[in-house]
Amino acid sequence: MGRLTDRLKSTNLVRKFVHFIVGLCTYPGIAIINKLRIRGTENIRKLPKSNVLFVCNHQTYFLDVITLFHIFSAIKWGKKDKLGIPYYFLTLIPG
């Protein structure tokens, strides 16, 4: 059973499916209910490829990581300072 779970963890499709489900479930709370405002996304593209640390100015454990996931995904799909319609979840589809 251990080998099967290790294989599932390393499968890219499973990882993308988990990102899709988590993103789809949390998008309404972040973008609609909390009305997330994003500024300075142009600075993220200027960051080095490694050794970058993001620090939050308050104590939460879950929402910060999920919000950064949304922001980085939106930036990867070309959004600037907004999440917009979350079509960036379509990375589940291979291409």
Tens digits of per-residue pLDDT, 34-50? Answer: 888 889 888 888 889 89
Mean pLDDT of 22-30: 88
User: Are residues 82 and 74 in contact, defined by beta-carbon separation less than 8 angstroms?
Assistant: yes
In three-state secondary structure terms, 88 is helix
pTM summary value:
0.71
pLDDT score for 77: 83
Is 92's pLDDT higher than 70? no
Q: Assign 51 a pLDDT band (cuts: 50, 70, 90).
A: very high
Q: What's the CA gap between 21 and 4, in Å, rounded?
A: 21
